[in-house]
Each structure stands twice: as structure tokens, then as C-alpha cells.
Structure 1
Amino acid sequence: MEGDRKRLVQVVVNILNNAAKYTRDGGHIAIKTELTEAQVIIEVSDDGIGMAADLVTRVFDLFAQAERTSDRSSGGLGLGLALVKSLVELHGGAVTCSSDGVGKGSTFRVCLPRLKDNQQPGDRGIAETDPRICADSLRILIVDDNMDAAAMLAMLLEALGHQVLVEHGPHRALQRARESRPQVCLLDIGLPEMDGNELARRLHDMPETRDAVLIAVTGYGQQNDRESALAAGFDHLLVKPVDTQKLVAILAGIGTMASGTKS
């Protein structure tokens, strides 16, 4: 197959770390690969604590592991598995999870597209194999008072090669923007003290970020929400949970334009 080696290693490591976290001392973890005509399959199974059926359907979602780990000191909110899902899908693949129930272990299965017999893998990474993914590194400022959501988004964008800054308050974000001059700002609308629309207006008024691309991230996607965001100066609006493919496509377009400007 062809893909970004570092990101695929990250996928496997995150799944293995998850298996190790939820398998008791003396337990077992197995990893195997399988080839079909169309796919390369990586499977990681363990005989650890397992999952109830309702968690299996949500395990790759942000916050999904909170209930699962409420009584475990290791804790965690599933950021690693959410990142796994995003990276696998960006490679054109899919990841699934299965478990026979609590105390009966879990199995994670990653399916990635296999090169055809007449194709040879090159030395290109994700960015070159799929123009939607990441054309050029961008300087991106994320502003979200939800620390876990901001961390998840930052992990994904950093994994794709971008330079990411994170702030949780609007006033600190304005100061950071003056200092770092981000090319892209991803702003949550529901911020404390100053909402994302007002923050967007102030960023547009600052010479350091006047030309930055502003992307609104909101839990509401009604027409009036979109109109308010556009009136505030946002270039794009994404509804939570953020569609990773759509965000990556937007950033790829910005990266291409930035490269053209440089040249």
C-alpha cells in the first residue's frame, strides 16, 4: 500500500497503547496482518476488560471512553482512538472495533486500500498521494474553551504536518494572534466573555491577521447561524462534530494558494 509511514505507525501505536491500557497484567495482546485482493488489514486483539455493546458503537468518538474508564486511574477521553479513525479515513481506509462484552477483550481492525498488482509504492506521503489531505504546512490557531476538543483537533492537524497553536480564551487568543500571525484561525462560536463572531471581527481588524482565513466551528448550523458567521467575517463554517475530510480539503486549498503566493 502507499501512505504516510509516520502516520500509519501512529495509528498502530495508538491502538496498541489502548490495548495495553485496558489489559490486565499477565494478559495477552496479539497483532496480525492479512491481505485481500483490495485491502491490507491490521488487526489488534486483547483479552482485557472489553466493552459493552453501546460503547463499541461510540469508541472512536471524542469523550467515548469517559464512562469506560471512570473507575480506572489511567483514565482518558479516547483522543488516541479518535485520531486513529481520522488518520485511517484520510488514507482512504476504515477502522472498526468489536467486543463480546465486558471482561471479554476487544479487537480493532484497520482496513487500508491495497495497491494494484501493476502499481508500485513511491516515496510520497499523504500530502502528495491525496491533494485533499495536506498540501503545505500552515500556521493554525485553534480557539476553543473545551480543552479536550481543542486537543483532539490539534493532534490531528499536527499529525498532518501543520503548525498548531491552541488558546482557550478569546483575549489570550488575540494576544497570541498578534505574536504568531496565524494563516488560519479555527474559532469556536460559543466562547466565554466574547463569542467567536466578535473574536472574528477583532481578528479582521488587526493588521497581523487581516488576511487570515477564519473558520467557524459551532454546534449549531442553522441558516441564521451561518448568516451571522459570514457577517462576522468567517470564510467557512463547520458544524460539530467537525467533518475531518471537509476541514482537510479546506486547508489543502489554503495551502495551495499560499504556495502560489510564495512562488
Structure 2
Amino acid sequence: MNILEPINNTTEILSSKMKDVIDVMAMQREMRSTLQKSITIDYKNFNDDFTVARFIFECGIKLEANPLTISTAATLYHRFIREINPQNYDLYLIASTCLYLAGKIKDDNKLIKIRDIMNVSSNTLHRGSQPMELGDQYWSVRDAIIQAELLIIRTLKFEVTPDHPHRYMVHYLRSLQAWFGDDEWSKYPVAKTSMALLQDFHHSSAVLDYPPNIIAIACINLTLQIYGVVVPLMDECDQFPWFNVLCKDLTREKLWEVMEKIMSSYDQEPETRDSC
């Protein structure tokens, strides 16, 4: 009996199972990219985790925050929501506060001012609204964010500095680039797509369920599957796949489980959107 046969069979089953899903996901991403500029979400009509996380991303982009700062804010939000009853809180206030707190944590030489967060959050929730004037409403919202910041920190037991998959991904991508060679590597947008998948995965609370290094590998491997790219010299080494060089204990089954979670996170987006 060929000892590699069970491994090969598992790979074939998983590949067959995921092929159609990967193709559909790639098409959905292209369509979403095309429509993104013309679709505006009316956040007041939605209160699910995916949409609130998207609110964080939209506000973060408007504030020109570092991508890692935005991911930190999303991670803090998902962690906080798991600890409380969401019905007892204004989730968009919590989201704005997470963005404010993340700006302090990452401190990427551009501290996000609380007034900027207040104005951007207000304008994103109430499209076309004017910046807040110094008055009762301004000081009320400002005080609410400060109080919410203290609540989040206490709820998370002062553990507000997450171990991000991003740093693992940068290391892994550099290793793969050297593995491929510059000419072959430049043919496919592996780094760009992997990072995009990682950022998108932060819309889902499932990003908390797996070690950051495995999430990074899953995003990269999903990208390789999408573009049909084979890591050099690995086609003859099925018993020792490329990702075991980076994480020796990672199994194929666990890797595909995380990849499925990444893809299923796109299904969490509500289908109905209000457009302008």
C-alpha cells in the first residue's frame, strides 16, 4: 500500500470541495470591488457584527489610519462583544471607541484625535451631517467615548495589545518571495491578495478563534489556490507541504478549516444595502 495514498486522497477531496467556492469567492470579490464606490451603507438599518466592523474600516480609512490600527480596532470590538450582551450597548459608539483606543495602542506617529473620530463617525452614521459644534451634544458624545474606553479596557482586563497575524504574514511572504524568486513572484499579486483577505477576515469574530500564525498561512494558501500557484519544488513533496516549513504542527485539515472560515466570512455581509 502506498503510504502517501491517504494524504493524496484527502488533498483531492478537499481541493474538489473548495474549488467551486474559491471560484465564486474570487468573482464576488471582483464584483464587490466594482460596486464599492457606488454603494453607501445606511448603518442605522443594520446592527450585525459584520456591518459594525465594516463601519470601523470605513471610519478608519476616512481617518487615514494605519491598516494595523484598523485591524486592532476590529479585534478589540470582537473581543468586547464576546464578553457582554450587545443589546445593552450602542455598538457604533463602541466601534468608534475601539478605533480611538487602537490609535493610542498602535501610535503610528499619527495619533487619531477624539474630535476627528467623533466627526467622522457622526458623518458616517448620518450621511451629509456637519461637523459637531462645541456644545452640549459635543461634550456628551466626547464623554461617552471616554467612558466607553474605560469600560472596554476593564472588560478586556487591560489586555488590549493583540498579537496580529500581520507580522507573521510579512515574514512568511518574504520567505516565499525568496523561495519563488523575484521574476516568478512578480507574476501574481500574492502579497496584495493575502493582505486583503486578512483585512477582510477581521470583519468576522472568527478571527479570534485561531492562532495568528495559522491565520496568516491560511490567507496565503487561499491566495495560492485562487491563482492556481504551486510553491516551487513542492509538487513532489506532498508528504511535507510548504506550510509545514513555517509551522511544522499545522495539518492540512486545520489549514482548510481556517480557509473555509475566511471564505464564509464573506457570507456574513447582509444582502440588502441602501444605496445613494
Shorter-chain TM-score tier: under 0.3
TM-score normalised by the chain length of structure 1: 0.25
Question: More strand by proportion, 1 or 2?
Answer: 1
TM-score normalised by the chain length of structure 2: 0.25
Question: More helix by proportion, 1 or 2?
Answer: 2
Q: Which has the higher contact order (CA 8 A, sep 6+)?
A: 2
